[in-house]
Amino acid sequence: MHIVTGGAGFIGSAIVWKLNQSGINDIVIVDHLGETDKWRNLVNLSYSDYVDKDDFLKMILTDSLPFKIDTIFHMGACSATTEKDADYLVENNYRYTKILADWCIEKSARFIYASSAATYGDGSMGYNDSEDDTLKLKPMNMYGYSKQMFDLYAIRKNYFDSIVGLKFFNVFGPNEQHKDDMRSVIHKSYPVIKKEGQVSLFKSHKDGFKDGEQKRDFIYIKDILEIVWFFFENKDKSGLFNAGTGKARSFNDLVKAIFSSLNKKPRIKYFDMPVHLRDRYQYFTQANCEKLFKTGYTKSFTSLEDGIKDYILNYLENTDPYLGNRI
């Protein structure tokens, strides 16, 4: 059996789709749906069972699972970079991951989990994913630190000899609509540009960066799936890896690609960044992908323009609310 925690979420549901495309349906979705619309991501997917995340944790802790597990894709977490409840983040992003990883090590099950580029903080320590470099990182928010906590735990326990951690950079693509403020700028800007013909971006509050020229490593969900699948198929490959394109692009570039996909002339306004974000804002992120490529991974990454065009024309412009089988 294959477990996908956060299986109704953005990246989790995409992984379930990828498994389905390869003829794999013996999947248990682990999540907590609450009052969100992420249940829509499951409608067209094929899986064996759905288990609430708290019930699944109890099964793990009491060793009472009714099935044998081959792989756990652990994508479930609180992904809000603005979340202030540190205890909640520690419980959801560190302790839960720690319990699953300990169990997989004991049972010799494959464990592939989501870390985050938020662990890199302001980027002053670079974006290298070696274990030595990871030990030096200082995240700027509690979300990033909750992810860093487990990365450090895995290093101390020598778990990266057998498990895989993926430091996701700025992922965008179908099935993210339920993420509210944590949606990509693409998903937020698309309806505004389509309706009003213009968009607003943060002004820069840092020397050396012009308005809208803050840069991130944006990666399309389809490229993320290729990386995850590589490690699923190659169980002899393990470690902590960046999951980005290795090419930083500006928010100006990003919204111009949206305008282009909609055949509209770019109209961009800039507004002051909220004060409470200014000391925690990443102005530049760019994955160092050298370690990933050294494993034998050879896939090229989708360009920002091509990824946005595909996302808009084949998904956002489509009125079908159930896109879980169309990634």
Active site residues: 143, 179
Report d(CA 177, CA 222) in Å as an integer: 16
Report d(CA 57, CA 76) in Å as an integer: 12
State residue 130 phi and psi, 5-degree precision.
-70, 160
Report d(CA 226, CA 18) in Å as an integer: 9
How is residue 201 written in tokens? 């971006």
The angle, 0 to 180 degrees and rounded to 10, between the axes of the packed helices 96-107 and 142-156 is 20
112 Cβ neighbours under 8 A, 6+ residues apart? 71, 72, 73, 74, 163, 164, 166, 228, 231, 232
Which strands form 164-168's sheet, in the order they lie side by side?
49-52, 27-31, 2-5, 71-74, 110-116, 164-168, 239-243
Report d(CA 248, CA 168) in Å as an integer: 14
Q: Identify the three-state secondary structure at position 224.
A: helix
Beta bridge partners of 9: none
Report d(CA 323, CA 153) in Å as an integer: 36
State residue 51 phi and psi, 5-degree precision.
-135, 135
